[in-house]
């Protein structure tokens, strides 16, 4: 167990996993890293996660673990551990069927105004209808669909939700894995890992809420600071 510059012991066998990290809380997370190990698990690819964090390629140096694409691309302590691809898993034929269906569906959408699609996705419940259409079209094909972020949704093979990263963490023998996410209700892309018995799930609503939860657990002496 390491001792930090602040004099507190770092709990090497405690891991905090976050589904998304906003740049505004990045400094706090580096402080948290002096107490426990930290990681990020996202549905996006590595470049998108790095862009969201504003860290570029340095992101793998700022976190003990980085799990891109729900953990099918894994980094530990700055080093690439493994990489799986949806292309190899699904095969070209099914992948093209999926892409072609999505393109046709979007091309045929009828909206009050077809200018900028993103603001209408929530108002017209486009995402919900799109996901239901995909579930019907690809029933029995080994695919899962779930909400991701404000307007997007995730598509992945059965078993490739965010719990995928937990399988590799099993060998690291953590005493506790805390997971912080906002899409934790059924149908959200955090639901499976949030409810998994291997994690202590925390449903959060904002970056500030995430910081406050972490303060209460790991910095009780400062939990009520503004």
Q: Give binding residues for alpha-D-mannose 1-phosphate as ranges.
A: 150, 152, 154
Instruction: Note whether 59 and 30 are within 8 A (CB).
Output: no
N- to C-terminal Cα separation, the chain: 30
**What are the DSSP calls for 51-97, one per residue?**
HHHT-GGGHHHH-SEEEEGGGTEEEETTEEEEE--HHHHH-HHHHHH
* 146 DSSP β-pair partners: 154
What is the rounded CA–CA span in Å between residue 89 and residue 85? Answer: 6
What is the rounded CA–CA span in Å between residue 77 and residue 2? Answer: 15
Residues tagged in the binding site annotation: 150, 152, 154, 182, 194, 196, 199
Length of the chain counted residue by residue = 226
Angle at the Cα of 179 from the Cα atoms of 78 and 192, rounded to 5 degrees: 110
Strand-pair category, 11-18 with 176-181 = parallel
Contacts of 137 (CB under 8 A, 6+ apart): 101
Residues tagged in the binding site annotation for Mg(2+): 182, 194, 196, 199
Which structure tokens are listed for 123?
Answer: 């108002």
What is the rounded CA–CA span in Å between residue 31 and residue 16? Answer: 13
3-state secondary structure of 157: strand
Q: What is the largest distance, in Å, between two alpha-carbon atoms of the chain?
A: 61
């Amino acid at each position: 167990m390491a001792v930090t510059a602040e004099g507190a012991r770092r709990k090497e066998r405690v891991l905090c996993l976050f589904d998304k990290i906003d740049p505004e809380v990045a400094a706090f997370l580096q402080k948290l890293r002096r107490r426990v190990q930290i990681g990020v698990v996202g549905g996006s690819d590595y470049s998108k996660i790095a862009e969201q964090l504003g860290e570029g390629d340095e992101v793998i140096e700022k976190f003990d673990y980085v799990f891109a694409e729900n953990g099918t691309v894994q980094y530990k302590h700055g080093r690439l551990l493994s990489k799986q691809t949806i292309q190899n898993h699904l095969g070209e034929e099914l992948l093209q069927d999926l892409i072609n269906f999505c393109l046709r569906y979007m091309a045929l959408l009828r909206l009050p105004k077809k200018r900028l699609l993103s603001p209408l996705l929530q108002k017209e419940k486009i995402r919900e209808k799109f996901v239901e259409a995909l579930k019907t079209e690809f029933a029995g094909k080994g695919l899962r669909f779930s909400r991701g972020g404000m307007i997007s949704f995730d598509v992945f093979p059965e078993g490739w939700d965010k719990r995928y990263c937990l399988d590799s963490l099993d060998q690291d023998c953590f005493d506790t894995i805390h997971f912080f996410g906002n899409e934790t209700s059924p149908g959200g892309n955090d639901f499976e890992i949030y409810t998994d018995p291997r994690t202590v799930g925390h449903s959060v609503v904002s970056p500030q809420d995430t910081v406050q939860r972490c303060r209460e657990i790991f910095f009780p002496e400062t939990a009520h600071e503004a």
